[in-house]
């Protein structure tokens, strides 16, 4: 509800508010970007990092389920070893390169920064939780597709790409929550995210300095394509198919994903994908 001191913006004024948000996003990306994804997910990571008795396997499971922490760890692993012949593209590789002590410190720092900002997302909590669940589902789907259909694509790398494919949408939710007129208009926010989350997500992944192969793979993941090859030719096709099998743009449009563009090899993996999704969710929830 608006007040006399914050009158409701309509028409051109509301359009300018949207444009200002996009300008603010562009400016912020020139520095270190930190934002919350799912409050519950980040809280689990924060609490786990503070537990001296937690097992390594539990920590890894938690970090695998939080997109920004995964991205930060992979960036850190690659930045501390510039001379490495191959960039790290998955969380396990980041842990091996950094060591568990460094990983715990880095993950806790990101989680605490996210929690400071998490209050901004209260108005959009349901949407952010749905988006997190979709990201976990897409991660499971990408991992299964790579493992079952194209062994030349590393399953761990596919899982990570599926997890971060909608990172731009999380970021836009966080930024939209900072504008009163947009907080009052969730449908407008959905429309903005549907229009802009892919391009902003690509810029964000570049700002996070993720491997080019991952950035390329998540580009235009919601744009319709010609029927996919069977098996997939590259990581981009894996992520595209995984996104559809995980519900695609349901969170923005309310429409069911159209799986007709996927062949039987992909749709035939539905049972295995659901089993892996449940396994990841169980690992994460503890």
Kindly report the CATH number assigned to the domain that includes residue 36: 1.10.3210.10
Q: Is residue 6 part of a domain?
A: no
Q: Pick the closest to residue 155 from 170, 172, 174, 139 (CA basis).
A: 139
Q: Is residue 3 part of a domain?
A: no
Q: Is residue 236 part of a domain?
A: yes
Q: Is residue 1 part of a domain?
A: no
Give the HSE-up count for residue 106: Cα atoms under 13 Å, Cβ half-sphere: 21
Distance CA 197, CA 193 (A): 5
Treating both helix axes as pointing N-terminal to C-terminal, what angle do 100-118 and 91-98 enclose, rounded to 10 degrees? 120
pTM of the model: 0.85
Q: Is residue 214 part of a domain?
A: yes
Q: Is residue 2 part of a domain?
A: no
Residue 251 is predicted with a pLDDT of: 57
Distance CA 137, CA 80 (A): 31
Residue range(s) defining the domain that contains residue 215: 12-285
Q: Which DSSP helix (H) or strand (E) runs through 178?
A: none
Residue 248 is predicted with a pLDDT of: 77
Dihedral sign from CA coordinates of 54, 60, 64, 70:
positive
Q: Is residue 113 part of a domain?
A: yes
**What token pair was written down for 282?**
């169980």
Q: Is residue 5 part of a domain?
A: no
Low-confidence residues of the chain: pLDDT under 70: 1-11, 13-14, 30, 82-85, 249-256, 286
Q: How far is Cα of residue 110 from the mean position of the Cα atoms in its chain?
A: 15
Who contacts 249 (Cβ-Cβ below 8 Å, separation ≥6)?
194, 222, 255, 257
Q: How far is Cα of residue 254 from the mean position of the Cα atoms in its chain?
A: 19
**Residues 190-234: pLDDT tens digits?**
888 888 999 999 989 988 889 999 999 999 998 888 778 899 999
Residue 264 is predicted with a pLDDT of: 92
Residue 252 is predicted with a pLDDT of: 66
- Count of domains for the chain: 1
């Amino acid at each position: 509800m608006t007040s006399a001191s914050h009158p409701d913006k309509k028409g051109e004024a509301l359009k300018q508010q949207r444009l200002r948000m996009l300008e603010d996003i562009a400016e912020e990306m020139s520095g270190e970007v930190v934002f919350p994804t799912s409050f519950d997910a980040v809280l689990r990571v924060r609490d786990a990092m503070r537990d001296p008795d937690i097992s390594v396997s539990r920590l890894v499971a938690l970090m695998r389920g939080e997109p920004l922490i995964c991205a930060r760890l992979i960036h850190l692993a690659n930045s501390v070893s510039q001379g490495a012949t191959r960039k790290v593209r998955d969380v396990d590789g980041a842990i091996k390169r950094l060591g568990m002590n460094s990983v715990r410190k880095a993950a806790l720092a990101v989680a605490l920064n996210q929690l400071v900002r998490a209050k901004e997302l209260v108005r959009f909590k349901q949407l952010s939780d749905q988006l997190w669940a979709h990201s976990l589902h897409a991660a499971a789907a990408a991992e299964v597709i790579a493992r079952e259909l194209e062994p030349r694509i590393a399953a761990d790398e596919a899982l990570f790409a599926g997890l971060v494919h909608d990172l731009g949408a999380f970021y836009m939710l966080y930024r939209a929550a900072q504008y009163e007129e947009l907080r009052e208009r969730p449908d407008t926010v959905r429309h903005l995210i549907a229009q802009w989350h892919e391009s902003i997500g690509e810029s964000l992944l570049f700002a996070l300095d993720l491997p080019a192969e991952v950035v390329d793979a998540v580009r235009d993941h919601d744009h319709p394509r010609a029927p996919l090859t069977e098996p997939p030719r590259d990581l981009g096709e894996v992520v595209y198919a995984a996104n559809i099998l995980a519900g695609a743009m349901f969170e923005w449009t309310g429409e069911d994903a159209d799986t007709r563009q996927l062949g039987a090899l992909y749709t035939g993996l539905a049972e295995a994908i659901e089993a892996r999704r449940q396994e990841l969710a169980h690992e994460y929830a503890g």
